[in-house]
Structure 1
Amino acid sequence: MKGFAAWSSVLLGLTSSVIAAPSKYAPTIKEAVEVPRGWVRVSPAPADHVVDLRFGLPQHNFKQLEQALYEVSDPFHDRYGQHLSKEEVESLVAPHPKTLEAVDEWLASHGIAKSICSRSPAKDWVMVKVPVSLAEKMLDTTYHVWKHAESGDTLVRTTSYSLPAHMHEHIELVTPTTYFGRPKGLATTFRWSDAQASLASSGESSIRSASGTVVDASCNSTITLTCLQELYNVTGYTPAATDVNKIGITGYLEQYANIQDLQSFYADQLPKAEGSTFNYTSIKGGQNSQNLSEAGIEANLDVQFAYGLSWPTPGYFWSTGGRPPFIPDLRTVNNTNEPYADWLEYVLSVPNPPQTISTSYGDDEQTVPLSYAIRTCASFAQLGARGVSLLFSSGDGGVGDGDANPATQQCKTNDGRNATRFIPAFPASCPYVTAVGATVSIPEKAVDFTGGGFSNVFPTPLYQVGAVASYLARLPAGTYQGLYNKFGRGIPDVSAQGDYFRVWYRGNPVHVGGTSASSPTVAGLVSLLNDARLSKGLPPLGFLNPLLYTKGVAGLTDVTEGNNPGCGTQGFNATTGWDPLTGLGTPNFGKLKEIVLA
């Protein structure tokens, strides 16, 4: 499987519109954006405010990396499972020597010596701390302090920046500049629940799922580990490769995973796991306070169910800082992080990252600058080529903002046209990750908030062309014409339960729902599949989608009911085969295990 060369060529030659200049040394615009909804300009950024400038350099042989990714992920290819080493990946994404030379010379022209710069292992990122006054000179721009009206978050950003004409081919993007993203946690519902009442009906009767498994009837009102094990045919499996297998959870937005709550969760649902915990790593100032009053519902949901399903597989939790408390009048020096890039910088430097990683956060795709989205997506491809399975929640807004009322819907483009448009989520729209939607009830149907649709940035990947074409061919002619990109990457790829999860939060059991519940659920099951392979001496699964859209379909249960309203519409409908609500369906672990061990 060779992937889609068109997207690769866009990546390799990434530039924004360039204004004609009289000489190659004159600054010309590299990137410009409209300010995303909700951000208000406060004041010019203090000249002595320090920013961590990061320059993304073109990855010289990314096309070969993409080809390798698809070959090692294709179950019908001779290279299947022969994942690349860290060093092999780095050699493919290393910039051309001429680029390294040109960038060093340009930085030196601004008084920045090579000795004060830091570089990624592949040298495709160059990082240096500079005051705003110098950053503005280098990028021919003006930085401002911006405030998010709803949350109060503040950022130092600009709406456009420029580079000398001759540097455009050597620098793909510069951050922090035009990215106003503030990844949303995707726990869409939150309900308090009584510890005893929610379990009162347990064992009184049973129901049969669409896949034929027998599930306790109480699972229609409360989802526990046992419910998921019964529903997805996991009961009885015991991990055997816990010495090599690992599972990871990403954390952002000061969402702290509380160990005391985890112990309460284990006591409630998995007593044999009591006393076990997880490995924690801070990235760019990320914290994980163990003050019970600061526990995060998103982080608790993620770690409790991902680690609970995969126990005793070692769990890893990364907390990445990303919302700097910048106070302009104090002229304080703060971190202006861009979380996905910061997390990727760290995890790509790790020799042996967890084989399965789940992320329950996402942005509206249109709020992410094109250069940042493409470069971040390419970094996910690096992890996939190294044998890492990446799961991302598909979003909680249906086809957009989750509002079917035309009078209040906010699905407007931010490109100056203010046109009505469905709004997919990123990073779920990246073709190198597995996007996970949400279901509810038994038998399962799509939950109405599940994010789904089609990317406006990334084209339909080769592995998905047939499935997406089949779905679109069955849509009545003209349905939602102009509201979505029929040539875009379809979201999601698979789905799982996503509502009424019984989570322990700040000392109490609560019910939580969202695709943020679905992603760690699927991740827990994928981690068990990796365990089954590793225990037999086989490599981990790595990038999942080429498998899922071929042999893996036989291990998924199709979901054919439900819709995901938003943007003043009823959204898309679930149907036979792939659909932009539930993807290919929900996992049957027993069948998938047979497939991946065959």
Structure 2
Amino acid sequence: MKRTLWATIALAALAGARPTPDNSYELHEERDGSLHAWIKRDRVFPHAVMPMKIGLTQQNLEKGYQHLIDVSDPDSPNYSKHWTEEEVHELFAPSKDTIETVSQWLADSGISSDRILHSANRGWLHFNATAKEAEELLKAEFYEHEHVSNGKWSVACDKYHLPSHIRQHVDYVTPGVKTSQLRKTTSGLSKRASPSFGWGPGHHRPPMWKPWHPGHGSQDLKDCDVTITPACIAALYHIPEPAKNVAPGNALGIFEEGDFYAQEDLDLFFSNFTKYIPNGTHPTLKSIDGGVAPTTNVSNAGGESDLDFQLAYPIVYPQEIVVYQVDDIPYATFEIPTAGFGNTFLDALDGSYCNYTAFGVTGDDPVLDPTYPDPAPGGYKGPLMCGTYKPTNVISISYGVQEIDLPANYQKRQCNEFLKLGLQGTSVFVASGDTGVAGVQSSNGTGPNGCLGPKDNVFNPTNPNSCPYLTNVGATMITPGNTVNDPESAAFGLFHNNTVVFTSSGGFSNIYPIPDYQKSAVDTYFKEHNPPYPYYELLDGFNASKAGDGIYNRIGHGIPDVAANGLEIAVYVGGEAITEAGTSASSPIFAAIVTRINDARLNMGKKPIGFINPALYKNPWILNDITNGTNPGCNTDGFKAVKGWDPVTGLGTPNYPKMLEYFTKLQ
């Protein structure tokens, strides 16, 4: 029985004439193999109408990094001279020549200008065309494709061509060799307070929790090796009492999805640990595509959200915290499974991103990402939110997936958006993950140990952490028997009767090369502390056939950049006192400290720090180097924490006085 792909399209089987050859045309894209999970069926009927999109080549993608470094390198005369949103959009938008050249080609081919919609961000041209027109335009043959599991129908070609003078102006065309990204993972989004990377709807405590009964005052530091309180964190990183005169508008933004804080938990925490914070204090909700918070039933409180706010408030108060609560209930709690991560969040911060074309991808992916309006019961019925909120100066994200879970170009396009945020002066901190050098067992391409390759022994980096325009935060701990005055170690914890291991994730990307700002630190690490493992040298995604016997990527971006405490953190969840663990704790701690430093800079009439990595790698002395511990996984000891940067704890943990002195002296 025939079905329809779009309401306006009638597809029928008919062997059409082959497109007329044209020597001026060159192959633009050709699929390597068949479409995954799709069966090729009949040729598309010549008069069927197809919505076509031509993604125009963005300009200056290769120059974005240098522009970011120009405003982020403390030695640059343009340090902290961040760009406006309009300037960033103009930097990457297709050139006038590109728009005019492609539009003229379409007009010469019979696609008149009144049929073409040009997107607001200038990134793509959209028009309807019959299959016959499309095949002539692209020198291609379009076929129906049926999905093997859900019965959906789609349209694609095996290859298509473009005139030689047009190719440099076009990123990709859809329908083309791909109609959408097709890879999916069943694991869903992961909260990084969870070593199992899978606690989902109906589970209101992370697996890594222990009951705890407050037995000492909030200022008592003698038990910090057992329970980390706000006083312990302040003592570890020499954080002074909260500032009284804060700069207006200097809010810390915290990403949450499918996990909801409870005001009752915050009030219990404030009453027991931070009496200077009034009960009722709460983050400002920035709801994205139907996101809701707080929960009205304390028993439904989420360990991730409660953890983030109970760590950040003692450091930043009385500054504001914003919660970016992302996606409606069906998507956020995986009632409608998706494998993507973060695109709807970035859409809401940058309207141009909704239809931004880069690296062969335009806008959100219809399979990997949520689609709004959401017709599901309880779904958000409004349109996709685009450019609704201005980004805060600092954003903390404690969620993620594995790098292997998403197509490389999906990640590259998103990574470029983090670059754009950095150009505008936003610092983005991301928890590095909780599985050491391994990953999640249920992720794509992983074996029983959460590792890659046919032997289940290749290290598995995390996403979005591999993007070099973020600041990745690993986890540390106070070794049992030690005090806040002793050096910390890389975090390591055993839970669930010693069957679940938490260890701070770190390693090397399989997609991105080592960025220039990190190169010296990584070179020194390999020279002085060479890991005892065979390696490979690959980019643009892991390929087992090319990796040989190597188990980590020698030329990939190193993760993490920095670290902060992440073990035995005292929180209230569901009205109970418990301790949690995870790099989910580390990211908001570091982000909150940078928010405090931004406050000092703003009160001096200076700009926010923005992308902080170049300054940190040039000045590691403002951090506490961590030289003890490992991050095991994949049946190895993982990497070691050593003097200098390492892929366990990065450059080290924050030293607030040194960081404050350094950054307030910069322009």
TM-score (norm 2): 0.70
Structure 1 residues 541 and 156, CA gap change in structure 2 (3 angstroms): farther
The reply on whether 1:310 has 2:316 as its aligned counterpart is yes
Q: In structure 2, what is the equivalent of residue 412 of structure 1?
A: 452
Structure 1 residues 456 and 114, CA gap change in structure 2 (3 angstroms): farther
Letter in 2 for 1:284: D
Q: In structure 2, what is the equivalent of residue 82 of structure 1?
A: 81
Instruction: Give the deviation of 1:313 after TM superposition.
Output: 1.3
Structure 1 residues 140 and 422, CA gap change in structure 2 (3 angstroms): farther
Instruction: Give the deviation of 1:73 after TM superposition.
Output: 0.3
Tell me the number of residue pairs that the alignment of Structure 1 and Structure 2 aligns.
Answer: 533
Name the Cα RMSD after superposition.
Answer: 4.3
Q: Distance in 2 between matches of 1:159 and 1:221?
A: 58
2:417 alignment partner, one of 364, 379, 384: 379
Contact 1:402-1:566 at 8 Å conserved across structures: no
Q: In structure 1, what is the equivalent of residue 300 of structure 2?
A: 294
Instruction: Give the deviation of 1:464 after TM superposition.
Output: 0.6
1:320 alignment partner, one of 326, 345, 357: 326
Write out aligned runs for 1:471-510 (5 A).
471-476=525-530, 478-481=532-535, 482-510=550-578
The reply on whether 1:358 has 2:396 as its aligned counterpart is yes
Contact 1:305-1:520 at 8 Å conserved across structures: yes
The reply on whether 1:276 has 2:330 as its aligned counterpart is no
Write out aligned runs for 1:219-238 (5 A).
219-238=224-243
The reply on whether 1:588 has 2:655 as its aligned counterpart is yes
Q: Distance in 2 between matches of 1:240 and 1:418?
A: 57
SS of residue in 2 equivalent to 1:171? strand
Letter in 2 for 1:248: G
Contact 1:143-1:157 at 8 Å conserved across structures: yes
Q: Distance in 2 between matches of 1:158 and 1:299?
A: 42
SS of residue in 2 equivalent to 1:280? strand
Contact 2:564-2:654 at 8 Å conserved across structures: yes
Instruction: Give the deviation of 1:277 after TM superposition.
Output: 1.6
Letter in 1 for 2:629: G
Larger radius of gyration: 2
C-alpha deviations, 1:49-104, integer Å up to 9, x for none? xxx99986532123333222101100011111101111111110112345546887
SS of residue in 1 equivalent to 2:79? coil
Letter in 1 for 2:404: Q
Q: In structure 2, what is the equivalent of residue 200 of structure 1?
A: 215
Letter in 2 for 1:536: M
C-alpha deviations, 1:499-540, integer Å up to 9, x for none? 111222222222111111111111111100111111111100
Q: Distance in 2 between matches of 1:356 and 1:98?
A: 37
Instruction: Give the deviation of 1:250 after TM superposition.
Output: 1.1
1:421 alignment partner, one of 426, 433, 458: 458
Letter in 2 for 1:375: R
Q: Distance in 2 between matches of 1:490 and 1:157?
A: 39
Write out aligned runs for 1:545-560 (5 A).
545-551=613-619, 553-560=620-627
SS of residue in 1 equivalent to 2:523? helix
Letter in 1 for 2:345: W
Consecutive unaligned residues in structure 2, runs of 5 or more: 1-19, 42-50, 129-133, 135-139, 196-206, 352-386, 480-486, 493-502, 536-549
C-alpha deviations, 1:370-417, integer Å up to 9, x for none? 1111111111000000000010111111001389xx99424124xxx6
The structure whose residues are more often helix, as a share, is 1
Instruction: Give the deviation of 1:251 after TM superposition.
Output: 1.7
Q: In structure 2, what is the equivalent of residue 446 of structure 1?
A: 490
Q: Distance in 2 between matches of 1:530 and 1:138?
A: 56
SS of residue in 1 equivalent to 2:224? helix
SS of residue in 2 equivalent to 1:472? helix
2:634 alignment partner, one of 567, 576, 596: 567
C-alpha deviations, 1:534-564, integer Å up to 9, x for none? 111110000010000013x121001000001
SS of residue in 1 equivalent to 2:605? coil
**Worse overlay, 564-573 or 419-428:** 419-428
Instruction: Give the deviation of 1:346 after TM superposition.
Output: 1.4
Q: Distance in 2 between matches of 1:295 and 1:116?
A: 49
1:464 alignment partner, one of 518, 535, 540: 518
SS of residue in 2 equivalent to 1:540? coil
Q: Distance in 2 between matches of 1:78 and 1:204?
A: 43
SS of residue in 2 equivalent to 1:455? strand
Structure 1 residues 521 and 34, CA gap change in structure 2 (3 angstroms): farther
The reply on whether 1:512 has 2:580 as its aligned counterpart is yes
SS of residue in 1 equivalent to 2:400? strand
TM-score (norm 1): 0.77
Instruction: Give the deviation of 1:144 after TM superposition.
Output: 3.9
C-alpha deviations, 1:300-320, integer Å up to 9, x for none? 222332233211111111122
Contact 1:104-1:114 at 8 Å conserved across structures: no
Instruction: Give the deviation of 1:477 after TM superposition.
Output: 7.0
Contact 2:598-2:608 at 8 Å conserved across structures: yes
SS of residue in 2 equivalent to 1:503? strand
Q: Share of identical aligned residues, percent?
A: 33
Q: Distance in 1 between matches of 2:593 and 2:34?
A: 40
The reply on whether 1:436 has 2:473 as its aligned counterpart is yes
Structure 1 residues 305 and 53, CA gap change in structure 2 (3 angstroms): farther
Q: Distance in 2 between matches of 1:113 and 1:407?
A: 52
Contact 1:402-1:567 at 8 Å conserved across structures: no
Q: Distance in 2 between matches of 1:504 and 1:41?
A: 48
Contact 1:62-1:93 at 8 Å conserved across structures: yes
Q: In structure 2, what is the equivalent of residue 123 of structure 1?
A: 122
2:262 alignment partner, one of 258, 264, 287: 258
Instruction: Give the deviation of 1:367 after TM superposition.
Output: 1.7
Q: Distance in 2 between matches of 1:382 and 1:221?
A: 41
Contact 1:380-1:432 at 8 Å conserved across structures: yes
Instruction: Give the deviation of 1:138 after TM superposition.
Output: 11
Contact 1:33-1:369 at 8 Å conserved across structures: no
**Worse overlay, 350-359 or 381-390:** 350-359
The reply on whether 1:70 has 2:43 as its aligned counterpart is no
Write out aligned runs for 1:202-221 (5 A).
202=217, 216-221=221-226
The reply on whether 1:541 has 2:579 as its aligned counterpart is no
Q: Distance in 2 between matches of 1:395 and 1:146?
A: 32
Letter in 1 for 2:256: G
Q: Distance in 1 between matches of 2:325 and 2:293?
A: 7
Contact 1:202-1:217 at 8 Å conserved across structures: no
Q: Distance in 2 between matches of 1:266 and 1:114?
A: 61
SS of residue in 2 equivalent to 1:267? helix
Instruction: Give the deviation of 1:201 after TM superposition.
Output: 4.5
Q: Distance in 1 between matches of 2:256 and 2:153?
A: 22
